[in-house]
Amino acid sequence: MIDKLNEPQRDAVTLPAQHALVLAGAGSGKTRVLTTRMAWLIQTGQVSPLGILAVTFTNKAAREMVGRVSAIMPIDTRGLWIGTFHGLCNRMLRAHHRDAGLPQAFQILDTADQLAAIKRLLKANGVDDDKYPPRDVQRFINGAKEDGQRPGDVEAYDSFRRRLIEIYTLYEAQCQREGVVDFPELLLRAYELLSRHAPIREHYQRRFKHILVDEFQDTNTLQYKWLKLLAGGGAHLFAVGDDDQSIYAFRGANVGNMADFERDYAQGTVIRLEQNYRSFGHILDSANALISHNTGRLGKNLWTEQGEGEQIRVVEQPTDLLEAQWLVEEVRGLISDGRDRSQIAILYRSNAQSRVIEHALFSAGVPYKVYGGLRFFERQEIKHALAYLRLMANLDDDTSWMRVVNFPPRGIGARTLELLGDQAKAYDTSLSAAVARVPGKAGSNLAQFSLLIQRLVDETRSLPLPELVEHVIEHSGLIAHYELDREGADRIENLRELITAAAAFVVESDMGGLPAGEIVQKAGLEDPMQEGFDGLSPLMAFLSHAALEAGDNQAQAGQDAVQLMTVHAAKGLEFDAVFITGIEEGLFPHENSILEQAGLEEERRLMYVAITRARERLYFSLAQSRMLHGQTRYAMRSRFLSEIPEEHLKWLTPKQGLSDSEPRWKSGGSGFDAYARQGNVARAPAIVRSSTSGVTVGSQQFRVGQGVKHARFGEGTIFGLSGSGLDAQAQIQFRDVGTKTLALGVAKLEII
């Protein structure tokens, strides 16, 4: 098992029981070391599989590790604590729901459900959602929870914030009443459970002898605190990570945990791995060169024995459509050269880029799979079906209630729901409990719906899970509804797929044959408290599974299809051939992050992650103009391109092509310089590029740098011009409304 490892890897794997941090760059074998250490600890009899807790970054990685352990020794894998932070916390809360103050059948809100719940809350409490946009409220609440703060812990330094804290308080009450838990709440509750209940804490502290954590650089403060509590009884913490791949700061990840970990635990046992086994030389050296532009790194140097390999192929296309067409051609070439489709990945910085690429692949008949986009469990029809299932498990789940009380339509109008909401608020109950208080026809319509749910429960009592799901999608009226919908065929197919997913789930979790509603009571291995699904019915277990999968960036494993995903979702993965698309200023690095050094450095780490996914072949592609969010945008080459030494690049389109490395607006006239002299450069959008310095439309002559006035957008400065005649367009930086691209023949612009 350890023969194939290099020396520092072997040292890490066979370290005596102690704390340790493996700090190493991409592709150096961190994940491999982690899984091998787990196997080694078990095989050498140092620990029983039940004495290990392993935290992975995705459900997929967790499944792989479970597979690996069960290959070493036959074992009931349900007793293994291997999973994501969310998955493990969910399990802990299920096992101790009473101490955690939760109903046994608590439901998990994914990000979209949470937003819906917040919108409903703001409305019910008459909060002005211009002043408190639901997304901002969501960010506030999640940020607080990720820092371990309840409403009482958040500092209220002004009235705006005081109001936010009130909303947070109301939101907590709403979740509690409905028996639902959002993602950050899973972590916070599990942390509080351990910190407040000594017997439970001590129980787990005794149980876990070894705690192993992958991708440690992306843990947040609360996750680290949770790990510290668990390790408090003498467990050995083994963490692997790479500060250069920390890419979730925007979601609260704290790369400072690495330094803290070293201080708290691992003095003297920081192991560095420097040999990279994934990529060829040009790829690796590019990554090294790029990341050296960041400051404050812990510092690593990666090398490979694999030889130089091929240079990075760079392609610049005039438009995003042509970029996508080129991609498809190149991908087809790779496939006909005999490459596996699943070994080809197309990466992009923003989800919005995928549509054009998907369309091109689809039209060319190339099978592809998108990760991290709208995942199966997030599709509308699937969420509807899950809402019925959730109500069957917990009628107080108001989010699910609102989702399907009138879907398919059954004549329950907004007015009725408002009445119901008022009653629920007045008596502080869930919506379903307030039904009896709504008088007249409205009330009886609502009661019909409650009866429907009750009937579904009664009719499926003895059915196994897949049959239960089938019964519900039929008898809820969902199938009939979509049959009438002209575009419903896909949705029906997805609903049928949900039956398959349920069948796969009962097999995987070894719950086959059990009636879906029956609670599993199985004597535990060491301790009944530890059984993963103890006290949970197959239906409830499936519902948590669905919610957790919906929150997972990577969802299912690869099929024989080209892999499309954001750079974030590609973390930890590797492919023979990788395309990084849209390497343009404003897109990658993203315009929202350009102005601050911290933001820019995170973008650079993202680019580092993207490059280091490639084993053999890497492509960079960019487009000079692209449609994004309904606007044509013109872009310069990404600065990251110039941070990579030329010797590693091979231009497939002319390097001195349509776009010079010196932007055109410099040679095009003095306009931009004047603009720059006014101190506007930092604010100048990154997507600056123009093909001509002057354009005449009608009787007006437009130039770059010129001041203009628009009836609606106000005053601004032209920073780019393109096309001529009727196609002429100007990119304008408006003082108040930001950048816009306007057709000069249509927009009425006044030169000022």
Cβ proximity of 152 and 168 under 8 Å: no
Among 20, 31, 49, 394, binds ligand ATP (CB under 6 A): 31
Instruction: Output the smallest distance, CB 732 to ligand ATP, in A.
Output: 42
Closest CA to 242 of 224, 255, 223, 261: 255
The answer to whether 257 touches 221, Cβ cutoff 8 Å, is yes
144's contact among Mg ion, ligand ATP, none, with CB below 5 to 8 A by partner kind, is none
653: alpha, beta or left? (left if phi > 0; alpha if psi -120 to 50): beta
The nearest distance, CB 163 to ligand ATP, in angstroms, is 42
Which residues are the active-site residues?
30-31, 214-215, 245, 613
Regarding 277 and contact with ligand ATP (CB under 6 A), the answer is yes
Residue 304 sits in the site that holds ligand ATP (CB under 6 A): no
**Structure tokens, 667:** 């040679």
Interface region with ligand ATP, contact rule CB under 6 A, candidates 22-30, 89-97, 302-310, 689-697: 22-30
Looking only at the bridges linking them, the beta strands covering 707-710 and 714-722 are antiparallel
From 170-178, 279-287, 571-579, 733-741, give the range in contact with Mg ion by CB under 5 A.
571-579
| Residues listed for the chain | 752
- Is 84 among the residues that bind ligand ATP (CB under 6 A)? no
Which range in 4-12, 366-374, 466-474, 498-506 contacts ligand ATP by CB under 6 A?
A: 4-12
Sign (positive/negative) of CA torsion 581, 586, 588, 592?
Answer: negative
Measured from the CB atom, the residue of 8 and 184 that comes closer to ligand ATP is 8
Least distance (Å) between residue 276 CB and Mg ion? 12
Smallest distance from ligand ATP to CB 156, Å: 41
Cis peptide bond prior to 408, omega within 30° of 0: yes
Nearest distance in Å: CB 609, ligand ATP: 7
Pick the piece of the chain touching Mg ion (CB under 5 A) from 31-39, 151-159, 435-443, 669-677: 31-39
Q: Which does 277 bind (CB under 5 to 8 A by kind): Mg ion, ligand ATP, none?
A: ligand ATP
Q: Is 32 in the site for ligand ATP (CB under 6 A)?
A: yes
Residue from the set 26, 271, 472, 502 that interacts with ligand ATP by CB under 6 A:
26
Q: Does the footprint of ligand ATP cover residue 572 (CB under 6 A)?
A: yes
What contacts 263, CB < 8 A, 6 or more positions away?
none
Is 394 a binding residue for ligand ATP by CB under 6 A? The answer is no
Query: E strands within 25-102?
Result: 52-55, 81-83
Q: Supply the minimum distance, in Å, between the C-beta of residue 499 and ligand ATP.
A: 35
Residue 531 near which of ligand ATP, Mg ion, none (CB within 5-8 Å, type-dependent): none
Q: Is the dihedral of CA 599, 602, 607, 608 positive or negative?
A: positive
Contact partner at residue 27 from Mg ion, ligand ATP, none, CB < 5 to 8 Å by partner kind: ligand ATP
Whole-number Å distance between alpha carbons of 126 and 139: 20
Q: Which is nearer to ligand ATP, 432 or 612 (CB)?
A: 612
User: Quick one: what does residue 706 bind among ligand ATP, Mg ion, none, with the CB cut-off 5 to 8 Å set by partner type?
Assistant: none
Buried b (16+ CB within 10 A) or exposed e, 246-284: bbbbeebbbbebbeebbeebbeebebbbebbbbbbbbbb
The SS3 of residue 723 is coil
Q: Binding Mg ion by CB under 5 A: which of 9, 28, 31, 423?
A: 31
Residue 278 interacts with ligand ATP (CB under 6 A): yes or no: yes
Query: CA 218 to CA 742: how far, in whole Å?
Result: 41
Structure tokens at 505: 């789930």
29 binds ligand ATP (CB under 6 A): yes
Q: How far lies 533's CA from each of 77, 94, 130, 151, 515, in Å?
A: 11, 8, 43, 32, 14
Residue 399: partners with Cβ closer than 8 Å, 6 or more residues away: 109, 113, 116, 117, 120, 178, 180, 387
Binding site for ligand ATP (CB under 6 A): 4-6, 9, 24, 26-32, 242, 245, 277-278, 572, 574, 612
Binding site for Mg ion (CB under 5 A): 30-31, 572
